[in-house]
Amino acid sequence: MLEETALSFSALPVHRSLGEGGSRESIEENKMDGRVRPDHDTKKNESRLIRVVDAIAEATRQEMERDERVFVFGLDVDDHKSIQGSTAGLLEQFGPDRCFGTPLSEDAMTGVAIGAAMAGYRPIHVHIRMDFMMLAMNQLVNMAAKSHYMYGGQVNVPLVIRTMVGRSWGQGAQHSQALHAMFMHVPGLKVVAPSNAHDAKGCLAAAIRDDGPVIYMEHRLLCNMEAYVPSEAYETPLGQARVLHEGKDVTIVGVSHMVIESLRAAKYLEKAGISAEVIDPISLRPLDMESIARSVKKTGRLLIVDNGWLMCGTGAEIMARLIEALPNGLNGKAIPMARMGFADTPCPTTKPLENLFYPNGKTIAQRAFTLIHPAGKIDLPEDHDIKEVDEFKGPF
């Protein structure tokens, strides 16, 4: 069994809370128990260990308190299970005018969200599954993304689209797709995929305050994962990656839940004498290539592990931009690089096939190992406990 200390996000800096017009200041962390702790443990901004869904709910509540133009709506947001708890308490606190359910009509409701944003509100529209955002592609790609440009900057569309992706209890081909690469392709859209509670809260606050449309991607297996999160409001800057685990032999860039698996892989590699640097891009558009290139210049190797298919995916974009930035490689030699992601087939339903379809800590560790030892094979344990797969109970 792999020690879960890799999932504690000890590399996360904690930011001072941000009021309106406030400045961001990194705070030196105390890694007492491998968890993030601020050095200013005050009652005013206490840092607590909470789940991703709790962080999302807290960010939503704080932004709704801060700005009366913010409201949340979507299928089942007012349900008693409150989208895994991510909208818990909002109906009771703000009433049905600012937290309400909608018909199962993705295209029309996305149009409502865009219209409200153009009229000056700041809606948070919850699409329970990213798969069904395909029914609203015209609204998102041709209306939300382009209105600011087409009206010469006179119109803003401050809209957040929350959407769930990922495996769980047999979601299958039409209910577990991660289609972020499609939206990364479109100028005018921003795409974020936080991997932990700290960034889930900060990213959502930043997305709500942004004056353009933001696709906020949530992996269902991250819902119950915990990290230390400040109690006051703050922003995680869009377009800034984070180094979660420092290393010198290979850079691993993970996307969404693949950050967790990459951290597990780093533990396997450490036992094999390999030091892996794990980067969470957090924001996929804008993409912080400077941080990735800086890491690759140090380690000399790159492995990108996407939470999606490889064809025209995030890994292809990162790899292409790195080659453009370093056309001659490093020290006159080509940079060893590789990509991992979904198998080239629709998402399967059964758990045994899911285990083959998605990368995991062991397969990531083996691929990273071969970047250093092309003919080698890393010694890995037979079991690979992905506890969040068994813990996720749905219904979404």
The one catalytic residue in 15, 127, 175, 198 is 175
Q: Tell me the helices (H) and strands (E) count for the chain, helix number first.
A: 14, 16
Does residue 76 come out as left (phi exceeding 0), alpha (psi in the -120 to 50 range) or beta? left
Residues 6+ apart with CB under 8 A from 38: 14, 27, 29, 30, 45, 47, 228, 230
| Separation between Cα atoms, residue 246 and residue 326, nearest integer Å | 22
**175 counts as catalytic:** yes
What are phi and psi for residue 147, nearest 5 degrees?
Answer: -60, -40
- How far is CA 97 from its chain centroid? 29
Crossing angle, helix 197-209 and helix 52-66, to 10 degrees?
30
| Separation between Cα atoms, residue 271 and residue 369, nearest integer Å | 12
Contact between residue 184 and residue 285 where contact means Cβ atoms under 8 Å apart: yes
- DSSP three-state, residue 192: strand
The token pair at 254 is 């993970």
**106 counts as catalytic:** yes
Contact between residue 84 and residue 225 where contact means Cβ atoms under 8 Å apart: no
The one catalytic residue in 106, 218, 226, 235 is 106
The token pair at 152 is 């010469």
Residues 6+ apart with CB under 8 A from 240: 282, 283, 288, 291
| Separation between Cα atoms, residue 289 and residue 66, nearest integer Å | 33
What are phi and psi for residue 347, nearest 5 degrees?
Answer: -65, 130
Strands 26-27 and 14-15: antiparallel
Catalytically active residues, by annotation: 106, 175
